[in-house]
């Protein structure tokens, strides 16, 4: 695996592998490091379907609301490199801040069809504009054939889809199903901040979503969502930030199962001081 730390060196490498071969495909997985088996599933999918697989590790300051969250973000780079090598990643792009955001870079305000102000965006103002800025920079530098994102960050996938459409990128968005720990908790870099007991107990989040899916045909969607919220809030130390059924494309809230062609239930639960994201596709 090549480790490349500057945009200039990466461009040179890209020119080399693309020269004279129009059939070369590049799969790209943007990450902030602290990699786990959820990231590995994205890499595996890319390796299986592309000539080269690129992964970036860059803790993007523009998507953090509070400086303390940025400071606390784990950075186990040696372990991350080991995982990337084991899963056949071709290139790790490990840029410095000035490579992603040069001095002359002007942070953009993307038209995201209001997707950035809903749900998670309401809880974290500016977050998805920060995500869009860094993703657009990587797409401009790498020009990947395919970009791989996890379903766990469901709203992010909707934002990236809009970004690709708005900016007319030729990159195809590939969404990979949630990878879960044995007890059901969605894998996340944040899980390391939970206690061992809390990590196991947090399976109640997926249990509530699974039960919601079972309840919906009998109770209706609105009542099932309400029941799931009550169940989570009844768990010691847990608090629902949001739990909402939405149109999968517009992220508009829905109350009935027939309100949209595709429906997902998105949630964030605060548990042991950690914000845990999860979701389930209902339809």
Active-site residue 117, yes or no? no
Under 8 Å between Cβ of 35 and 79 = yes
Which of 39, 107, 127, 183 is flagged as catalytic?
39
Under 8 Å between Cβ of 136 and 167 = yes
CA neighbours closer than 13 Å in the CB half-sphere of residue 65: 9
State how far the alpha carbon of 62 is from the alpha carbons of 119, 131, 132, 140, in Å. 19, 7, 10, 18
Catalytic residue annotation: 39
């Amino acid at each position: 695996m090549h480790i490349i730390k500057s945009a200039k060196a990466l461009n040179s490498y890209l020119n080399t592998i693309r020269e004279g071969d129009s059939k070369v495909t590049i799969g790209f997985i943007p990450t902030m490091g602290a990699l786990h088996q959820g990231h590995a599933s994205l890499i595996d999918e890319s390796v299986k379907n592309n000539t080269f697989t690129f992964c970036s590790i860059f803790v993007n300051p523009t998507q953090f609301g509070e400086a303390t969250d940025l400071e606390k973000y784990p950075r186990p780079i040696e372990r991350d490199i080991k995982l990337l090598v084991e899963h056949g990643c071709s290139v790790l792009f490990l840029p410095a801040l000035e490579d992603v955001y040069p001095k002359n870079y002007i942070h953009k305000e993307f038209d995201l069809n209001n997707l950035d102000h809903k749900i998670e965006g309401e809880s974290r103002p500016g977050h998805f504009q920060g995500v869009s800025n860094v993703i657009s920079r990587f797409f401009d530098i790498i020009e990947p054939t395919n970009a791989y994102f996890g379903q766990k960050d469901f709203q992010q996938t909707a934002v990236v889809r809009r970004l690709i459409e708005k900016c007319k990128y030729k990159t195809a968005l590939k969404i990979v199903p949630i990878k879960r720990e044995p007890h059901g908790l969605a894998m996340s870099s944040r899980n390391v901040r939970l206690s061992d007991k809390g990590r196991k107990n947090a399976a109640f989040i997926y249990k509530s979503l699974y039960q919601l899916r079972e309840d919906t045909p009998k109770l209706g969607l609105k009542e099932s969502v309400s029941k799931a919220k009550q169940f989570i809030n009844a768990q010691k130390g847990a608090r629902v930030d949001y739990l909402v059924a939405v149109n999968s494309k517009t992220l508009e809230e829905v109350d009935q199962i027939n309100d949209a062609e595709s429906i997902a239930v998105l949630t964030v639960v605060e548990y042991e001081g950690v914000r845990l994201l999860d979701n389930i596709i209902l339809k």
